[in-house]
Amino acid sequence: MTATPAGESRTSLVRRARKVNRVLAETYPDARCELDFDDAFQLLVVTVLSAQTTDRRVNAARPAIFAAYPTPAAMAAASRDHLEELVGPLGFFRQKTETLLKLSAALVERFDGEVPRSLDEMVTLPGVGRKTANVVLGNAFDIPGITVDTHFGRLVRRLGWTDETDPVKVEHQVGALFPKRDWTMLSHHVIWHGRRRCHAKKPACGACPVARWCPAYGTGPTDPEVAAALVKTQGPA
C-alpha cells in the first residue's frame, strides 16, 4: 500500500493526487515527450541516448544518426567509428555506441527488426530498463506506462504520493493512484512540472499551480515575484 502523509487517508490521497494531475494538465496543455522521433525504433534509440545529457542535444544529433542508420539492420551493421562520431556530442559515446550496436542487433536477431510491444520483452534488450520501455510503450504504441525519471521520482515524493526511492516501487505505488489510461500523460505532466517549476534545489513554490495540495510547499521561495523568476518556459537546454 502507498504510504500517505500523516493523517491522510487512502481515499484523500487518491483524490488529491488526481486533482494535482488535472491541474497540471491544464497548466501544461502541450505536455508530451520532448524527444523527437518518427517511429518506435527512433524513440527507443533517442531515449537510450538521452541518459546523462539533455533532450535538446539528442534532438540536434538525431537527424544525422537516422539519416545514416534508419533501421535496426542498418544500425547493427554500422561502422563503430562513424557511429561514435555521430553520438560523440552526447557524452559517454563509446558506451552509448556499444549499446546501440547490441540493441540493434538484438532487434534484428530476436524480433525481426521490430520494436517489441511488451514491457517484459523490451527490458530484455541491451540498455533498456523499465523507464525506457515505458517511454516507448506509452509514446510510440499508446500502451500506458509510467516513466520514473529523476524529475518524476523527486516530485511524487514531494507531493507525498509515495515515500519510496526504488523506481520500480515508485512506478507501482503511483500507478495505483490513477486509472491506467492516465499513466502516460501523468508522466508528462509531472516531468514538465519538474523541469519548469518544481526544481530540485529551488522550486518555484510561490508560482506553483498545485501548491495548495503539496505537503512540501515552502521548500522554495513562496514570494510570487521571486518564484516567478524561477519559472522556465521550456525544458533544460
Catalytic residue among 55, 131, 142, 201: 131
Tell me the C-alpha distance between 71 and 74, whole Å. Answer: 5
Asked if residue 152 and residue 119 are part of one domain, the reply reads no
Asked if residue 175 and residue 136 are part of one domain, the reply reads no
Q: Which domain holds residue 208?
A: 10-30+146-228
Residue 3: pLDDT band (50, 70, 90) is very low
Asked if residue 154 and residue 69 are part of one domain, the reply reads no
Asked if residue 136 and residue 57 are part of one domain, the reply reads yes
User: Residue 188, exposed/middle/buried by CB under 10 A (0-12, 13-18, 19+)?
Assistant: buried
Asked if residue 215 and residue 127 are part of one domain, the reply reads no
> Among residues 119, 140, 161, which one ends one of the domains?
140
In a domain, 52, yes or no: yes
Catalytic residue among 55, 96, 149, 182: 149
Asked if residue 64 and residue 80 are part of one domain, the reply reads yes
Q: In this structure, how many other beta carbons lie within 10 angstroms of the beta carbon of residue 82?
A: 12
Asked if residue 56 and residue 114 are part of one domain, the reply reads yes
Asked if residue 116 and residue 52 are part of one domain, the reply reads yes
Q: Residue 144: CB partners within 8 Å, gap ≥ 6?
A: 137, 138, 180, 181, 182, 183, 184
Tell me the C-alpha distance between 120 and 118, whole Å. Answer: 5
Specify the pLDDT at position 7: 72
In a domain, 1, yes or no: no
> Among residues 73, 105, 140, which one ends one of the domains?
140
Q: Which three cell numbers stand for residue 132?
A: 525506457
Asked if residue 215 and residue 132 are part of one domain, the reply reads no
Q: Total structural domains in the chain?
A: 2
Establish whether 55 is a catalytic residue. no
- Model pTM score: 0.92
Specify the pLDDT at position 1: 40
Asked if residue 124 and residue 94 are part of one domain, the reply reads yes
Is the CB of residue 185 less than 8 Å from the CB of residue 27?
Answer: no
For the stretch 76-133, pLDDT in tens is 999 999 999 999 999 999 999 999 999 999 999 999 999 999 999 999 999 999 999 9
Establish whether 96 is a catalytic residue. no
> Among residues 140, 169, 185, which one ends one of the domains?
140
Asked if residue 170 and residue 83 are part of one domain, the reply reads no
For the stretch 166-192, pLDDT in tens is 999 999 999 999 999 999 999 999 999
Q: What angle do CA 114, 92, 55 make, to 5 degrees?
A: 65
